[in-house]
């Protein structure tokens, strides 16, 4: 249990670790889905290719889209891309970094599915069973059959129970031939994906490490800023609801006092704290205006520190923000006597 707790805490440490954990879980889920999938080739000349390639390509596409859906940054990316310019510019490099990061993670589960499918060989056997070279692997001098009849016989190769072309080509020979080709393609695909990942990881710091660090930093900043804004809005909504409910019950208690002449109860001590958290936004219209202003013109990423005095005067010509010490004045009297 301690190991699972440590793994769970690692996944929750930051956004990237969380998404890496989600992608790993999806990769494991893709292998379990394929192992539990009941593969049934139709064994018909015009349907085997569509069925085999569909099983090979359609689930990876669904897993790719699911990887984008489960990524929390997709809504943040869309919001940052579509928001007005406002007081803060939009950096295309940050948007590209966010999209590439999500795409790389979303590709893990589809790559695992394609690798497992090719290494298993059932899809390739079903899709290309009619392309088996009968001349080199079978009996080309088999009694005269039309091209359509040969295709119907070859299309039944994946279905051992209904295959009736042993004299044309042995079922085991055809399946072994197609499975070897499929496994070769599978290992080539695994090697290609591994090589691409190695090149991306090893060569990227050699070209644009500074730009990569800047894009990564501002991507993290946008994520943290969004989380803090949501937390601030939730805290304001909680304080707003608390003050509204307290004012409601205070009004009810005043009505009861007026009708039954009972002393009102003392106001709760935390009412002032809840009112302070409202930050002056005490009505629906003002809050809506603040939310629209945040979306349309986010504040620029530039903090203004207080002006500090320099040796020859105040910094940047700004007045001093610290209280000045009163100057002592001395009066001198001279006598002409």
pLDDT digits (tens, 9 = 90+) for 18-62: 666 777 777 888 888 888 888 889 999 889 999 999 999 999 999
Asked if the structure places residue 65 within a domain, the reply is: yes
- Per-residue pLDDT at 314: 42
For 257, other C-beta atoms within 10 Å of its C-beta total 13
Question: Which residues share a beta bridge with 309?
Answer: 314
Asked if the structure places residue 221 within a domain, the reply is: no
- CA nearest 236: which of 297, 299, 291, 300? 291
Asked if the structure places residue 22 within a domain, the reply is: yes
Contact criterion met (CB below 8 Å) for 54 and 42? no
Asked if the structure places residue 256 within a domain, the reply is: no
Asked if the structure places residue 27 within a domain, the reply is: yes
- Per-residue pLDDT at 19: 66
Domain that includes residue 7, residue range? 1-208
Alpha helices in 121-270 (DSSP H): 122-127, 134-137, 147-154, 171-260
Cβ-based neighbours of 168, under 8 Å, separated by 6 or more: 134, 138, 139, 142, 145, 150, 153, 154
Q: Which of 79-83, 124-128, 201-205 has the lowest mean pLDDT?
A: 201-205
Q: Between the ranges 88-92, 143-147, 227-231, where is the mean pLDDT highest?
A: 227-231
pTM for this prediction = 0.71
- Per-residue pLDDT at 332: 39
pLDDT one-digit tens code per residue, 133-181: 888 887 766 667 778 888 888 899 998 888 888 888 888 999 999 999 9
pLDDT one-digit tens code per residue, 290-325: 888 888 888 888 887 655 555 544 444 444 444 444
- Per-residue pLDDT at 176: 93
Asked if the structure places residue 115 within a domain, the reply is: yes
- Per-residue pLDDT at 55: 93
For residue 94, report the phi and psi dihedrals to the nearest 5 degrees.
Answer: -65, -40
Number of domains in the chain: 1
Contact criterion met (CB below 8 Å) for 157 and 79? no
pLDDT one-digit tens code per residue, 168-199: 888 899 999 999 999 999 999 999 999 998 88
- Per-residue pLDDT at 199: 87
Asked if the structure places residue 319 within a domain, the reply is: no
Q: Which of 108-117, 274-283, 302-311 has the lowest mean pLDDT?
A: 302-311
Query: Taking 60 as the threshold, does the pLDDT of residue 261 lie above it?
Result: no
- Per-residue pLDDT at 310: 53
Asked if the structure places residue 71 within a domain, the reply is: yes
């Amino acid at each position: 249990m301690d190991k699972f707790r440590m793994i769970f805490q690692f996944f929750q440490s930051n956004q990237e670790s969380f998404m890496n954990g989600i992608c790993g879980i999806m990769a494991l889920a893709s292998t379990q889905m394929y192992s539990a999938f009941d593969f049934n080739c139709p064994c018909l000349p015009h349907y085997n290719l569509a069925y085999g390639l569909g099983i090979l390509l359609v689930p990876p596409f669904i897993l790719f889209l699911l990887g984008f859906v489960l990524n929390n940054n997709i809504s943040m990316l869309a919001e940052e891309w579509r928001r007005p310019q406002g007081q803060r510019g939009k950096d295309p490099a940050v948007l590209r970094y966010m999209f590439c990061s999500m795409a790389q993670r979303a590709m893990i589960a589809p790559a695992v599915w394609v690798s497992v499918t090719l290494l298993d060989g059932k899809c390739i056997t079903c899709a290309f069973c009619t392309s088996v070279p009968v001349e080199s692997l079978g009996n080309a001098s088999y009694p005269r059959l039309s091209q359509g009849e040969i295709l119907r016989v070859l299309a039944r190769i994946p279905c051992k129970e209904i295959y009736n072309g042993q004299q044309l080509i042995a079922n085991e020979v055809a399946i072994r031939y197609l499975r070897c080709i499929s496994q070769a393609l599978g290992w080539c695909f695994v090697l290609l994906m591994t090589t691409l990942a190695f090149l991306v990881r090893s060569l990227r710091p050699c070209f644009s490490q500074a730009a990569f660090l800047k894009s990564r930093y501002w991507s993290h900043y946008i994520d943290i800023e969004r989380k803090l804004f949501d937390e601030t809005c939730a805290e304001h909504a909680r304080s707003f609801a608390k003050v509204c409910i307290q004012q409601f019950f205070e009004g009810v208690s005043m009505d009861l006092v007026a009708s039954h002449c009972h002393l009102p109860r003392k106001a709760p001590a935390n009412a002032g704290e809840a009112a302070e958290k409202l930050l002056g936004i005490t009505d629906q219209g003002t809050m809506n205006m603040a939310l629209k202003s945040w979306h349309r013109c986010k504040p620029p990423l530039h903090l203004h520190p207080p002006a500090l005095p320099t040796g020859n005067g105040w910094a940047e010509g700004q007045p001093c923000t610290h209280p000045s010490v009163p100057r002592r004045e001395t009066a001198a009297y001279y006598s002409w006597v």
